[in-house]
Structure 1
Amino acid sequence: MNQDYKDTSQEKKILIVEDDPNNGEFLTLVISQETDFIPYLATNADEALKTVQSMTPDLFILDYFLPPGINGFELYQQLHTITGLQNVPTIFLSASTERDVIKQSNVLFLEKPFELDELLKTINKLMQTPPYSSYNVEG
């Protein structure tokens, strides 16, 4: 038996939706190097919706401002209507003032620019707390 074989079926997956290629690549690299989670990157809402047809993420990281057509909050609403994704926790990344809208939706918000340690702490906390009904990451 090959000792290097890795069963990825039980590994936790993170879907990152970020339209800025540099930010997307950075988040993917950090998550793959600093955590045991598997990052998937989509650059717009359409890609994200196609991606979740072939995999079920354990966490969404969404940029609030996406290319024209749909913003991150609208994508969040669409993703959470899909069977099996209703309870997937979500972290919004944004430099915008849309924080009040996002807060009302029971999701986490990290303001850009954010501290890398803060992002990793938030990811780890959410990924260790099924069924993701409480998003308290304080302390």
Structure 2
Amino acid sequence: MMSTSVLLIEDDPMVQEVNKQFIERLDGFKIIGVASTGEEGLKLVQELKPDLILLDVYMPEQNGLDMLKTLRSIGNHVDVIAITAANDRETIRKMLHHGARDYLIKPFKFERFQQALKDFKKYHEQLSGTGSVSQLELDLIKPIGKKSGMTPHIEELPKGLNKQTLKQIVSYLNVQDEALTAEETADGVGIARVTARRYLDYLQKSGQVEIDIQYGGVGRPLNRYTLVKSTT
């Protein structure tokens, strides 16, 4: 598994060290560079091309907000997580407006830092590559910046259903060329048929799948399910 390359831009040496130690405790992340100013950070972004920047706001020469604005103005859309003591609403709003995917206010606990990076990695993996996704798949991606009011709406699942299994079923249906029965879906995902039927019934009631009822021979009619895909 390839590591996510991280550029740390922070002027306080003690905070640099703490963030380094936090990252080293997480699997799948690797620090490829450290900068102490916005100007130095800009040079390293161009040189190292990181997957993710951990960016302070209060820095000499060029602060983090100005650096982020500069990045976007030159067409660089590298992902950024702000890690800063700046807690005023205007700065937070501007950082998010210019594409910060999460915002951590110092001081924070390791668990919050860990969650921010795990959320980013999940987001990055699920939206990498090519092809299309359904609205439900998009809504099931755990949002970045949940605590900053950036959460997309998704209704609560009925008791006994969980988002991960639902996501697996949706993803499996999304790559099928033909409608599937509950049994075929169960076999493909690796769950019990009765479990697959419960999720498929939920998806049908919420308008995410269509049912093709096939009558033939003796016995109950056969239900085949097709994911409703976006046509936009």
Q: Does the pair score TM above 0.5?
A: yes
* Contact 1:64–1:92 (8 Å) recurs in 2: yes
Query: Contact conserved, 2:7 with 2:50, CA < 8 A, in 1?
Result: yes
Q: What residue in structure 1 maps to residue 154 of structure 2?
A: none
Maintained 8 Å contact 1:45/1:70: yes
Quickly say closer, same or farther: Cα 1:135–1:53, change in 2 above 3 A: same
Match status 1:45 vs 2:38: yes
Contact kept, 8 Å, 1:93 with 1:110, in 2: the verdict is yes
Partner in structure 2 of residue 95 of structure 1: 85
Residue identity (%):
26
Contact kept? 1:99, 1:109, Cα under 8 Å: no
**Contact residue 86 and residue 92 of structure 2 kept, 8 A:** no
Given residue 101 of structure 1, which amino acid in structure 2 is its aligned partner?
Answer: T
Which protein is richer in helix relative to its size? Answer: 2
Quote the offset at 1:124 in angstroms. 1.3
Query: 1:77-104 deviations in whole A, cap 9, x for unaligned?
Result: 1223345x31x22221222233433224
Instruction: Work out whether 1:36 is the aligned partner of 2:28.
Output: yes
Structure (1 or 2) with the larger CA radius of gyration: 2
Of stretches 90-99 and 122-131 in structure 1, the one that deviates more from structure 2 is 90-99
Give secondary structure in 2 for the equivalent of 1:129.
helix
Q: Is the 8 A contact 1:58 1:89 kept in 2?
A: yes
Question: Structure 1: how far apart are the matches of 2:121 and 2:42?
Answer: 21
Q: Could you tell me which amino acid in structure 1 is paired with residue 63 of structure 2?
A: N
Contact 2:52–2:80 (8 Å) recurs in 1: yes
Say which of 144, 147, 154 aligns to 1:135.
144
Contact 1:94 1:111 in 2 (8 A): yes
Alpha carbons 2:9, 2:41 under 8 Å: kept: yes
Q: Is the 8 A contact 1:60 1:91 kept in 2?
A: yes
| Paired amino acid for 1:26 | V
Structure 1 stretch 90-99 or stretch 106-115: which is displaced more? 90-99
Tell me which residue corresponds to 2:73.
81
Q: Indicate if the aligned counterparts of 1:42 and 1:48 stay in contact, CA closer than 8 A.
A: yes
Q: Output the TM-score relative to the length of structure 2.
A: 0.48
1:57 equivalenced with 2:66 (yes/no) = no
Q: C-alpha distance in 2, partners of 1:81/1:13?
A: 23
**1:110 and 2:104 are equivalent in the alignment:** yes
Structure 1 53/124 Cα, relative in aligned 2: closer, same or farther at 3 Å? Answer: same
Structure 2 regions of 5+ residues with no counterpart? 129-142, 152-232
Aligned residues: 127
What is the alpha-carbon root mean square deviation over aligned residues?
Answer: 2.5
In the superposition, the TM-score normalised over structure 1's length comes to: 0.77
Question: What secondary structure does 1:135 align onto?
Answer: coil
Distance 1:99 1:38, change over 3 A: farther
| In 1, Cα distance between equivalents of 2:39 and 2:85 | 22
